[in-house]
Amino acid sequence: MSGKNLEGRKALITGGARGIGAAIAQALARSGAAVMISDILDDAGKASAAEIAKTGAKTGFVKLDVTDDAQWEKAVAATVATLGGYDILINNAGIEITSLVSEIKAEDARRMCDVNIVGTVLGMKHAFRAMRPGGPAGKGGAIVNIASVAATIAFPSIAVYSATKSAVDRMTRVAAMEAGKLGFGVRVNCIYPGLIPTDMGLQLANDIVKVGLAPDVNAAVGSVVEQTPLGRLAEVTDIGNAAVFLCSDEARFITGVGLPVDGGMGM
């Protein structure tokens, strides 16, 4: 792929303040895209956008709670107005609350479903409305939903999180079918990241120790590495590069798939 293979594209990234979201935003910007950072974290989101602005890429920040329909409408409108269009959505925002099945709290399960499932489908809803013919952007585009290797393996202590990420996979495929059949010109794919040492990933490692599944954090991380044929944890740049590919013309005949970026852990 060329270094600027996303030249002229306009992207909205949810959960773009830090971690995977920030890394994907940076990767898209390096590839020539203009990027709108969205998050519930104002200061961190604005800082993420400021870092991208230093590279000369066009960028901005909009506050977005992905569970709120009205906020999605405003975020999409802000993206179109600020960037001059909208043809890439990275549905990255998500939460993970660790718990053994025997100890799960109903409110935690509902919260994960609300953010990870409802938030993702609302993003696709508003992307379709904006990108399809007759929409305010109206030139088609690409959606990349961030699922997880947890959707493909039985990993203890994250049953509900795994379920929500399996739902992301299923919604991706149905949305891709609808977009194709209805002539929206929008491709929809998802990525299954492996465990990454971001704040969320490290919190999971600590939580695994707390629930008694590992003696310490090093052992928790080591067990993941042992299950990974390539012998290491994922890095945020691995996910960023995969997202760039799926958004690019090199992937123009790819839709409705889940791309594992997990070192083989979920094979």
> Could you give the residue numbers annotated as active site?
161
Helices (H), the chain: 19-30, 42-53, 69-83, 106-112, 119-131, 159-181, 199-210, 217-226, 236-247
Q: Which residue has the tokens 């602005």?
A: 53
Contacts of 250 (CB under 8 A, 6+ apart): 1, 5
Whether 90 and 11 have beta carbons less than 8 Å apart is answered as yes
Q: Is 136 helix (H, G, I), strand (E, B) or coil?
A: coil
Tokens for 155? 């990993």
